[in-house]
Amino acid sequence: MKTNPLLLLVVFAAMCWSCNDQCTETRITRRFTNVTHSLLELRTMVKKESPRSLERPGKMYIKGDYLFVNEIKEGIHIINNKDKSHPEFMTFIRIPGNGDMAVRDNILYADSFSDLLAIDISDPLNPKEIERIKNVFKNGLFDGGTWTLNETTGAINDQNVDLVTETVTVNCEEDVSPGWWGGWFNDSFAQSSFSGSSSSAPSSGGSSGKAGSMARFALYQNFLYTVTQNSLHLFDVKTPSKPKDFSTINFGWGIETIFPHENKLFIGSNTGMFIFDNSNPADPKQLSTFQHGRACDPVVVQDNIAYVTIRTGTFCQGSQNQLDLVDVSNPSSPQLIKSYQMENPHGLSIDSPTLFLCEGAHGLKVFDVKDKFKIDKNLLAHFKDMDAFDVISLGKTLLLIGKDGFYQYDSSDPKDLRLLSKIPVGKAI
């Protein structure tokens, strides 16, 4: 029997239409639930607790033999890190609404939603709140959910964020980018309230530690600098146990990170990098702005070169994944040296001539950056068996944090990192 070609075409088209009609896609989205917290109650909740496992690790901070790891929105782990092969959980400080921290001498500074806390950690097993500056932070962001301070009602208007996995029916040929949903998920643990390695700046007021490149807190001389979504806030910490609210510099929207370097402040935003002259630490003055497309933007600086990563898949809704090298020898006129395409760059740390760059779910990359125009040709190593969010280089030791836990490496040979220890998420204490 002779087959009609037109009939075959109609049947084929119908089959394709049926296929398209039945396609499904798994999406991970965020469900926001509004919640109100009483400030009076929040301020009674700060206390020490028994050590607990990592569940949603966020920022990290190192000072001396102690490591401080933020548990997003819940508090801070204090870990004895003297033996890097066997870090020991000592105490958990419960701090509702915590996202950032810094340490001067034996004083831990931490945010608790709208308040700045000073906590005495002279005895890490018995941390004590000794000072609180109330209502200095007006808004913030956790996991893409915003919170705001309502001073009239004495409350924090917050949003709880739950990740929801659902299967939906879509057209097979629908031009949908799964990265949009996956991106929200991949960064869910990272976007904390005041979201590069932060340099340990000279200080006449005492010794400070070192933060990662996602830091929103930075210590410099007698001041603690904090950035919120739209401002730079200064606190006088000349007497570390008695921080004083000093001044505020307002920006536009989208401020993300802060990196003090020599007598400059480099502030990352989702539209560019601000450079401030900090010769007078009590009165930073803006010198310039290096602009890029809309994207999340941590910054680290060394030898008059700023290393800036921008990435997609975040609340910033950027469209680029790249590393920018910027000449800041003339801070009033920063100049782009070269841009390099990356996969999904997050935090980074520079220990010249070695650059450690986190690629999120794509792991950690290590570059030799002696030749600023051929960094892509000088990839020393790519470690893919981790989810890397932020990194701190301490010379021969490397600290790395990600969704699956906290890592420490012997980095004497950057091409061949040797794992010293790992604290996995969910590990029982």
What pLDDT, in 10s, does the model give residues 298-319?
889 999 999 998 877 554 455 6
Burial profile 160-179: b = 16 or more Cβ within 10 angstroms, e = fewer? ebeeeeeeeeeeeeeeeeee
Residue-by-residue DSSP string for 205-232:
S--B-EE-TT-SEEEETTEEEEE-SSEE
Q: Which residue has the higher pLDDT, 207 or 118?
A: 118
How large is the average pLDDT for residues 412-425? 94
Residue 408 predicted with pLDDT over 70: yes
Of the given ranges (86-90, 193-197, 214-218), which has the lowest mean pLDDT?
A: 193-197
- Mean pLDDT in residue range 134-158: 91
Please answer whether residues 410 and 425 qualify as being in contact, where contact means their C-beta atoms are separated by less than 8 angstroms: no
Is the pLDDT reported for residue 218 higher than 70?
yes
Average pLDDT, the chain: 85
Strand order in the sheet with 115-120: 101-104, 107-112, 115-120, 128-133
Mean pLDDT of the 202-210 span:
65
Quote the pLDDT of residue 170. 64
* Tens digits of residue pLDDT in 271-294: 788 999 999 999 999 999 988 544
CA distance 248 to 223: 12
Q: Over the stretch 94-134, which tens digit does the pLDDT of each residue have?
A: 999 999 999 999 999 999 999 999 999 999 999 999 999 99
> Region 338-365: what's the mean pLDDT?
93
- Give the pLDDT score at 359: 92
Contacts for 51-55: CB closer than 8 Å, 24+ residues apart: 51/77, 51/89, 51/90, 51/91, 51/92, 51/429, 52/77, 52/89, 52/92, 52/429, 53/425, 53/426, 53/427, 53/428, 53/429, 54/405, 54/406, 54/423, 54/424, 54/425, 54/426, 54/427, 55/425, 55/426
* pLDDT value of residue 295: 52
Give the pLDDT of residue 176: 43
Residue 4 has pLDDT above 80, yes or no: no
Pick the closest to residue 277 from 235, 227, 328 (CA basis): 328
pLDDT band at 61 (very low <50, low <70, confident <90, very high): very high
CA distance 350 to 90: 30
CA atoms within 13 A on the CB side of 210: 18
Look at residue 138 and tell me whether its pLDDT is greater than 50: yes
CA pair distance 350, 61, nearest whole angstrom? 16
| C-alpha distances out from residue 392 to 151, 296, 414, Å | 37, 19, 13
The DSSP H or E segment spanning 166 is strand 155-169
Q: What percent of the chain has pLDDT over 70?
A: 82
| Residue 379 φ/ψ, nearest 5 degrees | -75, 110
* Alpha-carbon span 323 to 91, nearest angstrom: 37
Tokens 């510099």 belong to residue: 249
Q: What is the pTM of this model?
A: 0.84
Percentage, residues of the chain above pLDDT 90:
64
